[in-house]
Amino acid sequence: MNVVSIQNLNVYYAQHQALKNVNLEVEEGAFLGILGPNGGGKSTLIKAVAGSIPYSGTIKIFGAPRNFSCLGYMPQSSDLNRKFPINVLEVCMSAYLRKKRHFFYRYTKAMHEEAMECLCLLGIEHLAKRTIAELSGGEFQKLLLVRTILTDPKLLLLDEPTANIDPRSSEHIFEVLAGLNKKMTIIMVTHDLSAVASCVKSIACLSQTLIYHGEPRLNADILTKMYGCPIDLIAHGHPHRVLPYHVHDGENGGCCEMGLEHRRSEADDIL
Ligand SMILES: Nc1ncnc2c1ncn2[C@@H]1O[C@H](COP(=O)(O)OP(=O)(O)OP(=O)(O)O)[C@@H](O)[C@H]1O
């Protein structure tokens, strides 16, 4: 079954067209990474699926339009105001308000325990009583992820969840997400190619239009269409599972391409 079905999606901000004729199907159980250059329309796509911006075209979630009840959306943390006087645990508990059924709704002990466990999972349980204004950028981002997870969505939309996160914590977050993917479909905007190598099952490449959707393997043609530059500008330090085979150029510290298709099996051997 398709969890998300997008047809002829067009998004304009005033005169500027951010997305042009995007068609995309996301199957149940997918872990889709959305890649593309700055301004390529990745956040716009996620916002359109989450229903937070106007668009033309059709977006269905679990077969129905505007079916947001089963969806968890984590926006870019920079989009949010952190002056609101609320602490970390209160932010977590607010996730349960979504399931509120009546006026005298009360949080249960089990909810508190689950929230603390989830904070623990992301390593920020010691911050439970801090206000959100007192968190670092990375801590706040982890909190947003905890809150989104606590809503127990069937479809998780993540906009650069590791943008402010150190490499070790990022790796841990990708492990947590891979675990969650056993029970929920995930669509994640990222610039992190190591995430693509370690946890996503498929990728969609966006640069106003959808350039590619499929296996998490990039070739020179996709890279050039997406970033408008050859592989040596973006390959540095990135894994061969995602990018064509490349080696470091000791002279200038960059990378150089070793040939694409014919070196692929050799690259696979390295991994
Ligand atoms: N609120 C807005 N008003 C006007 N233009 C916008 C607005 N939001 C985004 N845009 C423009 O739409 C285009 C797509 O933006 P979007 O944020 O979706 O890109 P992105 O791929 O997520 O970029 P990044 O990797 O830099 O986060 C960009 O050209 C951007 O300048």
Distances (CA, A) of 215 to 13, 35, 232, 234: 31, 13, 21, 19
Which pLDDT tens digit goes with each residue over 118-171? 999 999 999 999 999 999 999 999 999 999 999 999 999 999 999 889 989 999
- Mean pLDDT in residue range 96-113: 78
Helix then strand count (H, E) for the chain reads: 8, 12
- Rounded to an integer, the average pLDDT of 108-113 is 92
Give residue-wise pLDDT tens across range 72-92: 999 987 667 788 889 999 999
If we measure between CA atoms, which residue out of 180, 145, 185 comes closest to residue 165? Answer: 145
Domain 2-216 annotated CATH 3.20.20.150: no
- Determine whether the shortest distance from the Cβ of 41 to ligand 1 is under 6 A: yes
Strand 56-61: give its sheet, edge to edge: 16-27, 2-13, 56-61, 64-65
Torsion of CA 34, 36, 37, 38, to 10 degrees: -20
**pLDDT of 101:** 59
If residue 30 lies in a helix (H) or strand (E), which one and from where to where?
A: none
Query: Residue 38, SS3?
Result: coil
Question: Where along the chain do its domains lie?
Answer: 2-216, 230-271
User: Is 54 near ligand 1, meaning CB less than 6 Å away?
Assistant: no
pLDDT at 255: 42
Helices 137-150, 109-121: crossing angle, 10 deg rounding: 130
Q: So what's the ipTM on this one?
A: 0.99
> Is 16 touching ligand 1 by the criterion CB < 6 Å?
yes
Instruction: Report whether pLDDT(45) > 90.
Output: yes
Quote the ligand 1 centre to 18 CA distance (angstroms): 7
Residue 32, pLDDT above cutoff 70? yes
pLDDT for residue 104 is more than 50:
yes
Ligand 1 centroid distance, CA of 102 (Å): 39
- When pLDDT is averaged across residues 8-34 and rounded to a whole number, the result is 97
- Please give the mean pLDDT across all residues of the chain: 86
CA–CA gap between residue 215 and residue 195 (Å, rounded): 14
Q: Tokens standing for 254?
A: 């960059």
Ligand 1 lined by 39 (C-beta under 6 Å): yes
Beta carbons within 10 angstroms of residue 217's beta carbon: 15
CA of 142 to the centre of ligand 1 (A): 23
Alpha carbon of 121 to ligand 1 centroid (Å)? 32
Q: How many CB atoms lie within 10 A of CB 11?
A: 21
pTM metric for this prediction: 0.87
What whole-number percentage of the chain has pLDDT above 70?
Answer: 82
For residue 41, the CA-to-ligand 1 centroid distance in Å is 6
Tell whether ligand 1 has an atom less than 6 A from the beta carbon of residue 208. no
